[in-house]
Amino acid sequence: MTHTPEPWEMTCGYVHEVDGCHDLSVFITAGRFIAEVAYNDPEQEANARLIHVAPKLLTMLKEAAAELDAIMDQKGHTAQTRAIRDRAYALIAKVKGEQ
């Protein structure tokens, strides 16, 4: 399984009017539609920001796991370091749809 490569853009969309209330939407795109969330709700705003940076988070997680591998190869490791590295690889696998 693959995901849409970055950069993902977050742009304000149109205003919906429901029962006289205005609701601003935010669109996440990367050459195609990825997600739409309401932007007038703090939780939805936080979700939009998380969706927006998801590809960068995955890239950083891969880099951190690889760096832990290198450190472990050079200096050995503790059970805690190994557990953190293993959780990172498990999360990467989950994102890829392998778990």
Cα distances (angstroms) measured from residue 15 to each of 8, 12, 84, 85: 21, 9, 43, 44
Residue 7 preceded by cis peptide, ω within 30? yes
pLDDT at 1: 47
Residue 8, pLDDT above cutoff 50 = yes
One-letter amino acid for residue 29 of the chain: T
**Percentage of the chain modeled with pLDDT above 70:** 74
- Model confidence over 30-66: pLDDT tens digits? 777 777 776 667 787 777 778 878 888 999 999 999 9
pLDDT of residue 96 exceeding 50, the answer is yes
Q: Look at residues 28, 85, 23, 15 and name the one whose alpha carbon lies nearest to residue 56.
A: 28
| Structural contact between residues 57 and 71, judged by C-beta atoms closer than 8 angstroms | no
Which of 43 and 25 is assigned the larger pLDDT? 43
